[in-house]
């Protein structure tokens, strides 16, 4: 079941969506779902509902809430639509790594106050830009996060000061990073750099590349959607969350 909610944050009230299993009253382990760059849309609702159906209480922050109301971006046509590209730029500019941690703090507080959420640590999953956010949040809220997953995440080990790999020594969660093949935002050298940083920090982590899958392989509405890779991501994410959240 999906419900639109409003979550208080330090910056104001954040639009978000909550997903609960159709059967039972809980409490269920909490999972924060970080959207990809094209923003909140029906394809992500389907994913939130599928994740909830596996026995989790899922909260999906709208990371572009500071930009006001918007129409989701159609990535299939954006290259040929100048107005859409401008709107996309405005949305992307409305958030930042600092703002995303404020939003995460709000989502965690919402889970803490929800009687249908199981007390204790939570799971994080993110797609595209959300993959980097999941890793940053695992570091920023290390005592709250049991597992963090990043799927076709980009810019995970760059030269930037806020690159997620620089935070590896703060992460206590179990980590799964599943990159896309031939992804300019996560090339082989970034994979190696991320693996080395996580290993040096003693993080229980797996960093893999899905062969043949392109950036955006998981959501069904993306031009790069790959059913085989997407289904693999579901299997591996469920295994991670079952082991860290349900058995804890």
* pLDDT reported for residue 75: 67
* pLDDT reported for residue 182: 85
Residue 197: pLDDT band (50, 70, 90) is: very high
- 188: which 2 tokens? 């082989």
How far apart are the C-alpha atoms of 192 and 196, rounded to whole Å?
6
**Which is it for strands 12-19 and 2-9: parallel, antiparallel or unpaired?**
antiparallel
How many helices (H) and strands (E) in the chain? Answer: 6, 8
DSSP 3-state percent helix, strand, coil across the chain (nearest 5)? 40, 20, 40
Domain CATH for 157: 3.40.50.1820
* Residues recorded for the chain: 248
Q: Please state the pTM of the whole predicted model.
A: 0.95
Q: Could you report the per-residue pLDDT of 30-65, keeping only the tens digit for each?
A: 999 999 998 999 999 999 999 999 999 999 999 999
Q: Could you report the per-residue pLDDT of 198-241, keeping only the tens digit for each?
A: 999 999 999 999 999 999 999 999 999 999 999 999 999 999 99
Whether the CB-CB separation of 74 and 84 falls below 8 Å is answered with yes
Name the residue range of residue 191's domain. 2-246
How high does pLDDT run on average in the chain?
94
Q: How many domains does one find in the chain?
A: 1
Share of the chain above pLDDT 70, in %: 95
pLDDT for residue 84 is more than 80? no
Whether the CB-CB separation of 125 and 100 falls below 8 Å is answered with no
């Amino acid at each position: 079941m999906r419900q639109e909610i409003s979550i208080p944050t330090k910056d104001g009230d954040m639009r978000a969506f909550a997903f609960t299993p159709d059967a039972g009253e809980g409490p269920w382990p909490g999972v924060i779902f970080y959207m990809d760059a094209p923003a909140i849309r029906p394809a992500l609702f389907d994913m939130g509902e599928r994740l909830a159906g596996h026995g989790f209480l899922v909260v999906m922050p709208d990371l572009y809430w500071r930009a006001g109301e918007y129409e989701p971006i159609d990535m299939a046509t954006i290259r040929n639509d100048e107005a859409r590209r401008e709107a996309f730029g405005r949305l992307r500019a409305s958030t930042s790594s600092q703002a995303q941690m404020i939003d995460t703090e709000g989502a965690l507080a919402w889970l803490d106050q929800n009687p249908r959420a199981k007390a204790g640590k939570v799971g994080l999953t993110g797609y595209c830009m959300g993959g980097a956010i999941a890793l940053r949040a695992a570091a920023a809220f290390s005592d709250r996060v049991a597992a963090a997953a990043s799927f076709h995440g980009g810019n995970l080990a760059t030269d930037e000061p806020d690159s997620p790999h620089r935070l590896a020594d703060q992460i206590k969660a179990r980590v799964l990073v599943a990159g896309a093949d031939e992804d300019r935002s996560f090339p082989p050298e970034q994979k190696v750099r991320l693996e080395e940083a996580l290993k040096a920090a003693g993080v229980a982590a797996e960093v893999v590349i899905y062969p043949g899958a392109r950036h955006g392989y998981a959501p069904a509405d993306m031009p790069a959607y790959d059913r085989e890779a997407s289904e693999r991501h579901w299997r591996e994410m469920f295994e991670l969350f079952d082991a860290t959240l349900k058995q804890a």
